[in-house]
Chain A
Amino acid sequence: MGTKRTTSFYVLSFVFAAFLIFLYGPMFCVYLLSFQGPEGGMSFPMRGFSTVWFETLFTAGGRGVGDIHNSFIRSLRLGAIVALLTMLIGLAVGMSFRRRYPGGNFVFYSAIVSMIVPGIFVGFGISLTLNMLGMRPQWWYSGIGAQLTWSLPFAMLIMFIILGRMDKSYEEAATDLGANSFQRFQYVILPLILPGVIGMFMAGFTSSYEEAARAGLNIGTGNTMPMELTGLLGAATTPVMFAVGTLTTLFMFTMVIVTLLASWSLAKRRQLRLTAHHA
């Protein structure tokens, strides 16, 4: 230590600090305001400190809460299915790119394009097409399909990075030792890319949970969380929505921590199995 810090250090520190404030500052305001006193409003100052807005949220037919409970369940259900499909399809797409095949580039670029086109028009387009076909949108096909156009490109990129880093000679070694393609996948490739596969699931879930632009017109009856929140926030008069913000953040953090703990215990169990051999 003791080296003199350059100007660029201070400039970059300032930019980083500004980033932190922009990211977490408003969130902390939301968290803080969710503990607003019963007499308080939707902005500062705080008038006392209470959990009354959380209680309102969990009271059946609470004022300003709308259909939030059901929309949470719907979002959860949709997210879980989208995450699972994203993981499975992403895995298959990634594996298919282990070998070059004609049309491979087309598949790749058309998937990337889906990250660029504005979501609202993707959603509108799907809805319009369904209309022309005389079909009614339902969450379990058009809703899921619309969200997959958003989550799959990310899954594909995750797989490309993970598989691109994997030494091809692992597969050749497995083949050399007699493994067929299924055994190769089961015993060698999957264990090596497992963190990435879990990553795809998480990316699928988070991108579905907060997505409304594509799903909005295609979900059929019954709002999801982001749709319900957008509606409620427009007409909100009490800090009850802030309580939703606090809880949903807590929920996402829990998801992340559970995932991390799961992968950690997976590694730990492997280690334990090895130590057991030692004894």
Chain B
Amino acid sequence: MKIDTDFNAKNLMPEAEPPVEDGATKYDVELVAVSKSYDGGAKAVDTISLRIPKASYCCLLGPSGCGKTTTLRMLAGHESVTDGDVLIHNRNVTDGAPSARGTSMMFQSYALFPHLSALDNAAFSLKIKGVKKAERHAKAMEFLKLVQMDHLAHRMPAQLSGGQQQRVALARSLITRPKVLLLDEPLSALDPFLRVLMRTELKRIQTELGITFVHVTHSQEEALALSDLVVVMSDGQIMQAGSARDVFEKPSNAFVAKFIGGHNVIDVEGRKVSVRADKCRIVQSVGGTNIPAEVTNIEYQGPMVRILVKDSDGKEYHAQISDSRFFADPPVIGEKVTFSWMPEDEWRLAA
């Protein structure tokens, strides 16, 4: 997965823009109180504001129907904005045509034109601009090289695997020299092995090009692995926006703690706290809070083992402990144990 040393990906991208006096170009993308409603009905996206810093990898994370794809499509210009403003590189593009915004979108189904070869797909935007054939093919070849698809340039989309199609779609988008690349669930159609591989690849390309990627996903694992900025959404609103570490360690509310995974959301003295499952203990008390419970399930995950327990009220908790600790004294399903955590591991959630 290395590219030629004499091949500098940054050369493929637009010239750096001169800085604007007020310094507002710290952000590649700004959403200002953006809403979307269909036919005056319920809001699919409800007054969200978001700033995405320069050259960052941003993931919009949330369950189906949370408004993340609608937000992305409003950024792309494929969905009209009901209310609010969309700024890209400090320019208001709210009502601009998709191709005039400096964005490019990679579709979930890739949407490669089935009647055109990989090369002609990649060269499509240049053909639209009226670039001569030899020139546009040469340029398309450069971008296919960036995504390591130059050797299959003359294949039709139907002759390519899912991962290969995705690479071609990526080249086709990047050739427009976008300031911001928008990716709609780009990894969801791939098998798990390829998904991890392409994830690394996307991050590599983003780093090399030095542009902003906005990536929609429902996988918290994907979002944590890729993001400089994770935006957790639910019901058309932003629940939390922050670095992957912030979102994982300091979830702002119960929804985020539950959705991001690996947390117990517990009522302690009338307030909600989250406790990371890997900080919880089974069997030996760590001091702190102890709850008598019964083991209901054990999931072996390699380096970690996840243990689910249920207390006398039927409330469920889970703990993640290292395999060495687990196998030193493995509990069995049905065993009465003590579930415990330290008060300093409690993270207070918003009501």
Q: Point out residues on A near B: beta carbons under 8 Å.
A: 167, 169-170, 172-179, 183, 187-188, 191-192, 270, 274-275, 277-278
Contacts and interface: CB of A to CB of B under 8 A. Distances in A.
Contacts of B78: 172, 175-176
A183 B128 contact: yes
B107 A187 contact: no
Given A174-B124, A178-B128, A277 B115 contact: no
B128 A167 contact: no
Contacts of A178: 99, 125, 128-129, 176
A274 B113 CA distance: 15
Nearest to B73: A172
A176 B154 contact: no
Contacts of B176: 177-178
A278 B154 contact: yes
A174 B127 CA distance: 11
6 contacts: A170-B113, A175-B99, A177-B99, A183-B128, A277-B119, A277-B154
Interface of B: 76, 78, 97-99, 104-105, 107-109, 111, 113-115, 117, 119, 124-125, 127-129, 154, 156, 172-173, 176
Nearest to A188: B113
B154 A192 contact: no
A176 B99 contact: yes
Contact of B111 (A170, A187, A270): A170
B156 A173 contact: no
B98 A175 contact: yes
Contacts of A179: 99, 124, 128
Contact of B109 (A169, A175, A187, A277): A169
A176 B109 contact: no
Given A274-B156, A277-B154, A176 B76 contact: yes
Which 9 pairs between the two chains have the least Cβ-Cβ distance?
A178-B99, A173-B111, A169-B111, A177-B125, A169-B107, A191-B115, A178-B128, A176-B98, A176-B105
B153 to A, nearest CB: 8
B124 A177 contact: yes
Nearest to B108: A169
Contacts of A270: 115
B124 A187 contact: yes
Identify the interface centre among A167, A169, A191, A278: most chain B CB within 10 Å of its CB. A169
B154 A172 contact: no
Nearest to B119: A277
Contacts of A278: 154
B111 A172 contact: yes
Nearest to A170: B111
Contacts of A192: 113-115
A145 to B, nearest CB: 35
